[in-house]
């Protein structure tokens, strides 16, 4: 008589219906993903604004700022991808339409037809990066304290540090030679 029992692991099930077992309950994962959808929308909004400014910057610092803003929007594009993949790793679908991003973002979008000066562009981008840093601090606390998701809290901490650095670089471009 065979006394061995076989147990079905969740990996043996149909992968489209497999239960996600990451140590977070479904409600916590959903709440974290909802928070991450807003982070993704903020990243995409800031990416779009930065790309717009890259295309439309003018003035004596054109080349320097054009190249600088290209590096910034490329970094934001990479960060957006990482946020979307974090949402997917937690079992939800990432937002992917402009209407979703506009609805979810916590940033102010560039007004259509508005053409700020180079200095105004840099100041607005600085403000947006700093706003993202402030909201990420709140989001980190929620992930850790409210949802028990230290992995996402750590992920968001790295993202916050990236935005702190980008804001610093923007502020450096706004500095005057008054020293």
Q: Tell me the CATH number at 89.
A: 1.20.1260.10
Q: Which domain holds residue 160?
A: 23-173
How far CA 118 is from CA of 17, 48, 115, in Å, comes to 51, 16, 9
Q: Give the pLDDT score at 18.
A: 57
Q: Give the pLDDT score at 46.
A: 98
Q: Give the pLDDT score at 3.
A: 43
Judge whether 167 lies within some domain: yes
Mean pLDDT by 10 residues, the chain (179 residues): 42 50 84 97 98 96 96 98 96 96 95 94 98 98 96 98 98 78
Query: How far apart, in whole angstroms, are the C-alpha atoms of residue 78 and residue 166?
Result: 14
Judge whether 11 lies within some domain: no
Judge whether 16 lies within some domain: no
Judge whether 2 lies within some domain: no
Among 72, 90, 67, 88, which Cα is nearest to 147's? 90
Count of domains for the chain:
1
Judge whether 114 lies within some domain: yes
Q: Give the pLDDT score at 128.
A: 98
Q: Give the pLDDT score at 103.
A: 97
121, burial (CB in 10 Å: exposed 0-12, middle 13-18, buried 19+): buried
Under 8 Å between Cβ of 125 and 72? yes
Q: Give the pLDDT score at 176.
A: 78
Judge whether 151 lies within some domain: yes
Residue the block writes with tokens 């490329």: 74
Residues in the chain: 179
Q: Give the pLDDT score at 19.
A: 77
Q: What is the DSSP letter of 120?
A: H
Instruction: Give the helix/strand (H/E) hosting 105.
Output: none
Q: Give the pLDDT score at 177.
A: 54
Q: Give the pLDDT score at 152.
A: 97
Q: What is the DSSP letter of 10?
A: G
Query: How far apart, in whole angstroms, are the C-alpha atoms of residue 45 and residue 83?
Result: 13
Judge whether 14 lies within some domain: no
């Amino acid at each position: 008589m065979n006394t061995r029992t076989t147990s079905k692991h969740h990996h043996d099930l149909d992968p489209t219906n497999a239960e996600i077992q990451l140590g977070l309950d479904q409600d916590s994962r959903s709440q974290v993903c909802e928070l991450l959808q807003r982070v993704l929308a903020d990243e995409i909004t800031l990416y779009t604004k930065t790309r717009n400014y890259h295309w439309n910057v003018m003035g004596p610092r054109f080349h320097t700022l054009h190249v600088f803003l290209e590096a910034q929007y490329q970094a934001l594009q990479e960060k957006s991808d990482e946020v979307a993949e974090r949402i997917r790793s937690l079992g939800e679908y990432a937002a992917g339409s402009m209407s979703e991003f506009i609805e979810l973002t916590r940033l102010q979008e560039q007004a259509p037809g508005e053409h700020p000066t180079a200095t105004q562009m840099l100041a607005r981008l600085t403000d947006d990066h700093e706003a993202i840093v402030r909201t990420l601090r709140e989001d980190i606390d929620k992930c850790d304290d409210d949802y028990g998701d230290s992995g996402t809290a750590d992920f968001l901490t790295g993202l916050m540090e990236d935005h702190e650095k980008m804001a610093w670089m923007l502020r450096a471009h706004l500095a005057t030679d008054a020293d």
